[in-house]
Amino acid sequence: MKIISLFLCLLLCFACEHGDRKLAYQSQRNLDEADLYLESFDVPKALEYSIEAKNSLTILTTKYPKNIDYKLLESRANLTLFLAKNAEVIDKATIDPDSFTKLPSPEQYKDYNTLLLLSIQSLKTLLEQPKKLSYQQKASAHTLLGSIYRLQKSTAENAKKQYVMAIRINESWVRSLKKEGNKEQTINKIKNQIQNLRMSLVEVELLNKNWKDALELLQMNMGGRSLEYFKRNFKLLNSQLVEVENRIYAIKQKNSNEPDNEKLLKLIQEKKKLSPTPLIELATNSTEETARIQVLIDIADTQNNLIYHMICYRHLNENSKYQEANKILYTFYPKLGKEIDVFFDSQQK
C-alpha cells in the first residue's frame, strides 16, 4: 500500500467548501494510518481508520461526483478496507514453495465484489478519458488497478500491465518536469514511486515464476548486480532505528508515570531481534513513534528485497550469488537467515 499512499497527494479543488476539503484531507490521513496499522498487523485499528475514511469519501463522492481526486481516494479506501478485512485470511494462506508468495483462493476473500469490483469499474471509467487526467492521476489509477489485480492468480498478468503503465506514466512525468526546471524535489519523489512500483512488479513476476525478469527488475532498482547495497542499507537503517528509539525513550523518561516505559526499554534492548514482518504496538500517533514504525517497515522491505534476490538466484542456479546474499542476511539478521535456510531446505526434500 505504500506506493498508493505516495501517489495520492490530493490536488483539491479550491471551489469546494472548506469543511469538505478538510474531510478529504482527514480521510487521506486516516488511510495513511490504516496502512501503517496493516504493516504492523494491528487489524482492529486498520479497520477502524479505513472504515472512517471509506464513510467520509462515500459522502464526498456522492456530493462531488465529478471530482477525480475524491474518486481515486475512494478506490484507495475500498482497497485498504478490503485488505484490513482480509488480513488474517492472507496471513494464513499457504506459502508457495517456489516464490514465497501468499495468495488465498478467490472464494476465501471477504467482500471482494462489494469493495473491489466497483473500484475496478470506476478506475477503468476514469482511464477512458485520459485527457482529463494529470500524470499523477493516471499513475494513481493504474497503480490501484495493479494492486487489486495482483490479489488473484488469474489476474496477475493484468496487474503486471497496470504496473508497467504506471511506471511509464511516471517516467513521462519526470521528463516533463525536467523541461520545466527547478522541480528536483518532486522528481526525486516520483523516482522513489517508480522504485516502489518496480518492487510491486517483482512480486507479480515471482507469483508468475518469471525468475529472470524478477531479478532484472531487482537489479535495476539497486543499480546493478553487486549486493553491497544491502550491507550499506542494513547498517544505515539499524543506526536510524537506534536513534529514533533512543529519542522515544528520552521522551518517555520525562514522565516516569507512563506505564509503558519498561516495555519500551525492553524493545530498545532487543532491537536486533527484528522479524521480517515486525509486530508493532502503536501506542500513540506521535511523530517519533511514526518515524520508528517507518524505519521498521523500511528494514522489513529491505529484508524482503534481499530474500527476493535469493529466491531468483536459487531458481536460476546462481549459487555463488545465493551464498553471498545468504551470508549478508545471516550477518545482520541471523534468526531470519536461519528461518529462510530451513524453509528452502524443507522444499528440496
pLDDT, tens digit, 9 for 90 and up, residues 69-100: 999 999 999 999 999 999 999 999 888 878 88
Q: Using alpha carbons only, what angle is made at residue 211 by residues 40 and 159, rounded to the nearest 5 degrees?
A: 60
pLDDT of residue 2: 56
pLDDT of residue 180: 87
> 338: which 3 cell numbers?
536461519
DSSP code string of 69-96:
HHHHHHHHHHHHHHHHHTHHHHHTSPBP
Interacting residues of 98 by C-beta distance below 8 A, sequence separation 6+:
209, 311, 315, 347
Q: How far apart are CA 40 and CA 211, in angstroms?
A: 29
> 37: which 3 cell numbers?
496499522
pLDDT, tens digit, 9 for 90 and up, residues 176-208: 999 888 788 899 999 989 988 999 999 999 999
Interacting residues of 305 by C-beta distance below 8 A, sequence separation 6+:
199, 218, 221, 222, 230
* Residue-averaged pLDDT of the chain: 84
Which single residue is written with the C-alpha cell 553471498? Answer: 324
Q: How far apart are CA 77 and CA 85, in angstroms?
A: 12
Q: How far apart are CA 78 and CA 156, in angstroms?
A: 19
pLDDT, tens digit, 9 for 90 and up, residues 288-300: 777 888 888 889 8
Identity of the residue numbered 24 = A
- What band does 284 get if pLDDT is binned at 50, 70 and 90? very low
pLDDT, tens digit, 9 for 90 and up, residues 203-244: 999 999 999 999 999 988 876 788 999 999 999 999 999 998
